[in-house]
Amino acid sequence: TGTTAPRTVPGGPAPTAHPAQGRPAATAPGTAAGSTTFRPSPDQGRPSPTGTAPPRVPTGRALSAPSPGGRRPAAAVLPTRPADNRPPAGARPRVTGRPPRRPVVLRPGPTDHFAELLLAVLSGQRPVHAMLRHTAGRAYDELVRLAERGPLRTRGARPVVRDIGWFEPREGALEVFARIGAGDRLRAMAFRLEQGRDLRWRCTAVELGGPRAHRPDPR
């Protein structure tokens, strides 16, 4: 059977073809013929379900959503707040200078200490028994014999220790010698010190030389 062309009624409207027969539908107003309009999908701009991480954004910038057209707008830079380096309220200011050093007071060693003790006993300023706990062996008996004569007693100036030196023959033992100024004369004094198990020093021997005329140092 063949197809017959549609009949036209004189004076009537021209027949229109169905859109399914190949003619394009009417275009929307404001859209040029032949152009195609795309609408963004609701899923466009969302991260893909494949598990890929979103791109990293540098610090200080905000991550913005993509535009409906598929383009990503420029990220806006957020203002950063400067670090607050001010000291907290009530904090004391730091002192940059060094604190003043305290004077170091050196305590006299055993040689100086025993020289002053022996001088006080031999000049009559202290009794002999004051050396009882500071002596060992025959030193106390020697000190009693020397103190009976009062060799360092003077009527004028008080005797003083002029010079002092020592020699260490072994660890825990000291051979000490000193010069005693008694008025216008000098006396030589020698004594031995030994350190006990209690780490205390004790005098174990003492000797006193004869008087000598004091000679001033030549200049």
Q: Of residues 67 and 32, which shows the higher confidence score?
A: 67
Does this model's pTM top 0.85? no
Tell me the fold of 110-213.
Nuclear Transport Factor 2; Chain: A, (3.10.450)
Name residues whose C-beta falls within 8 Å of residue 27's C-beta, 6 or more positions apart in sequence.
33
pLDDT of residue 119: 93
Helices and strands (DSSP H and E) totals, the chain: 2, 4
Give per-residue pLDDT as tens, 160-216.
999 999 999 999 999 999 999 877 888 899 999 999 999 999 999 999 886 654 455
Q: What are the backbone dihedrals phi and psi of residue 46, each rounded to the nearest 5 degrees, phi first?
A: -90, 155
Contact criterion met (CB below 8 Å) for 126 and 110 = no
Q: Which of 186, 216, 201, 194 is nearest to 119 (CA)?
A: 186
The span from the CA of 71 to the CA of 124, in Å, is 111
Average pLDDT along the chain: 71
Q: What are the backbone dihedrals phi and psi of residue 91, each rounded to the nearest 5 degrees, phi first?
A: -80, 140
Q: Where are the domains positioned within the chain? A: 110-213
pLDDT of residue 3: 52
pLDDT at 75 exceeding the cut of 70: no
